[in-house]
């Protein structure tokens, strides 16, 4: 299986029983197609199986991105909160009332 990774354009899955899909998805090239003609009771796969390459990039790529952002004055937009605000922050997430990423200020939360 490892030697066939990213090598197939098309997979026809005819298995009707429940089975893992992740190992087969790793065999597909980018843009490859997996056609299910069997009838499993459920389809489970890990979201990372749909990603090609690293999820976040290697150290070199991340450092290049950080350097680019610093050089171009691109900064994250965050909302700093204290730990006692966490329940309200979670409620805001559920209500989709969040514009920026929450960052918990641990140091100042316990002063």
Is residue 41, in this structure, part of any structural domain at all? yes
Is residue 8, in this structure, part of any structural domain at all? yes
| Residue numbers in the chain where pLDDT is lower than 70 | 52-56
Contact (CB, 8 A) for 2 and 22: no
Query: How many separate domains does the chain show?
Result: 1
* Residue 37 CA from chain centroid, whole number: 28
pLDDT of residue 55: 64
Give the C-alpha separation, 43 to 49, whole Å: 13
Residues with Cβ within 8 Å of residue 77, at least 6 apart in sequence: 99, 100, 101
Is residue 97, in this structure, part of any structural domain at all? no
pLDDT of residue 52: 67
pLDDT digit string, tens, across residues 31-47: 899 999 988 888 888 88
Is residue 22, in this structure, part of any structural domain at all? yes
pLDDT of residue 13: 94
Is residue 69, in this structure, part of any structural domain at all? no
Dihedral over alpha carbons 41, 46, 47, 48 (to 10 degrees) = -150
Containing domain of residue 21, as a range? 2-57
> pTM (2 decimals)?
0.48
Q: What phi-psi label fits residue 57: left (phi over 0), alpha (psi between -120 and 50 degrees) or beta?
A: left
Is residue 44, in this structure, part of any structural domain at all? yes
pLDDT of residue 58: 78
Give the C-alpha separation, 5 to 26, whole Å: 6
Is residue 72, in this structure, part of any structural domain at all? no
pLDDT of residue 47: 83
Is residue 29, in this structure, part of any structural domain at all? yes
């Amino acid at each position: 299986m490892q030697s066939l990774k990213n090598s197939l354009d098309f997979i026809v899955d005819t298995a009707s029983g429940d089975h893992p899909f992740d190992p087969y998805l790793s065999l597909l090239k980018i843009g490859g197609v997996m056609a299910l003609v069997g009838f499993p009771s459920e389809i489970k796969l890990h979201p990372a199986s749909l990603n090609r390459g690293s999820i976040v990039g290697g150290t070199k790529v991340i450092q290049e991105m950080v350097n680019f952002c610093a050089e171009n004055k691109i900064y994250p937009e965050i909302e700093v909160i204290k730990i006692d605000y966490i329940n309200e922050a979670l409620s805001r997430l559920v209500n989709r009332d969040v514009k920026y990423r929450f960052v918990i200020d641990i140091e100042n939360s316990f002063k």
